Amino acid sequence: MEKLQKTLQEWQDMLDPAQYQVCRLKGTERPFSGKYNATTTDGVYHCICCHEPLFDSQTKFDAGCGWPSFYAPIADNAMIEIRDVSHGMIRTEVTCGKCDAHLGHVFPDGPPPTGLRYCINSVCLDLVPR
């Protein structure tokens, strides 16, 4: 996949402050505050920064954690996993495979068939209904 690269200023000009804070500065939104946490709309979730498809709504489930959760990305190259040792924890960060936007983290406590829980910030996503 060809990478999309912009300067931080270009990202800041393009994104709203919350999107910029999470996607480019690796922030997080408060639990249960995101617009997609409880949605059940059928469609495809795209990266807010580059519009690359990331998740199909058919893989979304209610993990009760306060963020939209999915058990699988839409494609193997949709995201990159990075070891994250910030905040005194060892986690796996997930970023967009095309533009490197911070999306959230993946945990090994999800449902079958993968056993994974991709815990993603709503502000990073744009849901395109089917």
Is 50 part of any known ligand binding site?
A: yes
Identify the residue whose tokens are 């200023």. 9
65 marked ligand binding residue: no
Please say if 124 is a catalytic residue: no
The number of beta carbons lying within 10 Å of the beta carbon of residue 53 is 15
Q: Is 96 annotated as a binding residue?
A: yes
Residues 63, 50: Cα–Cα separation, whole Å: 27
Integer CA distances (angstroms), 5 to 17, 31, 101, 108, in order = 19, 29, 10, 30
The two three-digit tokens of residue 100, written as one number: 């490197």
- The DSSP letter of residue 30 is P
Q: Is 99 annotated as a binding residue?
A: yes
Q: Which one is catalytic: 23, 49, 65, 119? A: 119
> Which residues contribute to the annotated binding site for Zn(2+)?
47, 50, 96, 99
Residue ranges of the annotated binding site are: 47, 50, 96, 99
Active site residues: 119
